[in-house]
A = this chain, B = another copy of it.
Amino acid sequence: MDDEKIFRPVYWDFEQDCLKILDQRKLPHKEIWLEIKTLSQIEHAIDTLAVRGAPLLGVAAAYGIYIGIRNFRGSSKSFYKKLEDTIARIAVIRPTAVNLFVTLRRIQETTRIIKSSTLDKVKNNILEIGHRILHEEEECSFAISRNGADILDTSVRVLTHCNTGTLAAGGVGTALGIIYEAHRRGYVEEVFVDETRPLLQGSRLTAWELERWNIPYKIITDSSAAFLMAKEMVDVVIVGADRIVRNGDTANKIGTYSLAISASKHRIPFIVAAPSSTFDLSLLDGEKIKIEYRAQDEVLNFGGKRIAPKNARAYTPAFDITPSKYISAIVTERGVIEKPDIHRIAAHISGGAYATDVAEL
């Protein structure tokens, strides 16, 4: 891809020695960069979705932990206590996306191995993990985009949900990365973008990315998707994933399951795109995935204004589970798992999802 078009919505600013985050709450109208210097700032940024998307949550978590411990002075023992506390604080914010936990485990494992080093070395190693995860996710996204585009027809109308582009995954993104690459190859006729209530990651963020890339798109309300399928306006559905378990059941943004049912009913291929770090092989099936529930005001209010009656309540799952039987293929940086099931996934994810981080110590 054109190098000038690459940008990083999350990066470490070495000059100011802080984390920079493009505030996704303000897009598409304002491009505001947050300077994150404290643990509570990164907690707030993750909680309010200033930074979001399963892969980038993993990056933000690593940098966040570094920010949380970098100024620590004291004994090695109390350092590791502080580190565990910091990890625990980050871990509770968004329970569904697995990448956050992969990062936390990766930091735990790495710091366990290097406990004999000086604290400064350990701290630097955590920062290094942040850089490395960001780089890996970017690399993954390019591989996913190529692997995904390879299985598309040469003229497709794609429907997608939520935001799975640069803003969610770095690089070109996962599902949106495939759309980007397919467009580059001349395959994409049109993209239909679910607005993705309640936080409108589709109409705000995906639309913003498609504009930058000059890819033709139209926004639809989430509940319109099935009607478009019935009218034969959609050739393929491509979505991301927040967690994929051993049998292929996939947690993703609320509304994904409904799309999968409708796609199945209309015999439209339903593709999930995610880096292999999204797989959680510790869980057998989707029932075990912890679903995040968001604040009711995200549904009951809009732009600070109340929509619903004063005393109204809302039921607010942020994710749902799509059983693997509805998934035509999962695309990772390693290739494509067609008709995913427990055996095919096990074969695909052979070996660990990442290399050890202590090689260069």
| Contact status B254-A317, CB under 8 Å | no
Determine how many copies of this chain the complex contains: 2
Task: Tell me if A198 is interfacial: C-beta within 8 Å of chain B.
Answer: yes
| Contact status B309-A258, CB under 8 Å | no
Encode contact with B along A296-325: 1 for CB under 8 Å, 0 otherwise.
Answer: 000110110111110111111100110000
Residues of B within 8 A of A309 (CB): 28, 207-208, 211
Binds B, one of A103-111, A164-172, A224-232, A333-341: A224-232
Residues of B within 8 A of A195 (CB): 197, 299, 307
User: Of the candidates B28, B194, B226, B308, which one forms a contact with A219 in the assembled complex, judged by CB atoms under 8 Å apart?
Assistant: B308
Task: Tell me if A257 is interfacial: C-beta within 8 Å of chain B.
Answer: yes
Residues of B within 8 A of A203 (CB): 299-300, 307-308, 312
Encode contact with B along A273-312: 1 for CB under 8 Å, 0 otherwise.
Answer: 0000000000000000000000000011011011111011
Residues of B within 8 A of A258 (CB): 223, 225-227, 258, 262
User: Of the candidates B207, B223, B227, B230, which one forms a contact with A222 in the assembled complex, judged by CB atoms under 8 Å apart?
Assistant: B223
| Contact status A204-B261, CB under 8 Å | no
A207–B315 Cα gap in the complex (Å)? 13
User: Of the candidates B224, B262, B317, which one forms a contact with A315 in the assembled complex, judged by CB atoms under 8 Å apart?
Assistant: B224
A314's closest neighbor in chain B, by CB?
B219
Residues of B within 8 A of A77 (CB): none
Task: Tell me if A255 is interfacial: C-beta within 8 Å of chain B.
Answer: yes
A280–B323 Cα gap in the complex (Å)? 39
Residue among A207, A258, A259, A262 with max Cβ neighbours from chain B (10 Å): A258
| Contact status B200-A315, CB under 8 Å | no
Residue among A194, A313, A314 with max Cβ neighbours from chain B (10 Å): A314
A225–B224 Cα gap in the complex (Å)? 14
A200-B307, A309-B28 given; A315·B192 CB < 8 A:
yes
Task: Tell me if A29 is interfacial: C-beta within 8 Å of chain B.
Answer: yes
| Contact status B219-A197, CB under 8 Å | no
Residues of B within 8 A of A320 (CB): 224, 226-227, 230
The 4 A-B residue pairs with the shortest CB-CB distance, nearest first, are A223-B255, A227-B320, A226-B258, A222-B223
What are 22 sample pairs from A and B whose C-beta atoms fall under 8 A apart?
A: A194-B223, A195-B307, A197-B221, A198-B221, A200-B307, A204-B307, A204-B308, A208-B309, A218-B315, A219-B299, A219-B313, A220-B316, A221-B316, A223-B223, A223-B254, A223-B259, A224-B316, A226-B320, A258-B258, A261-B262, A261-B265, A265-B265
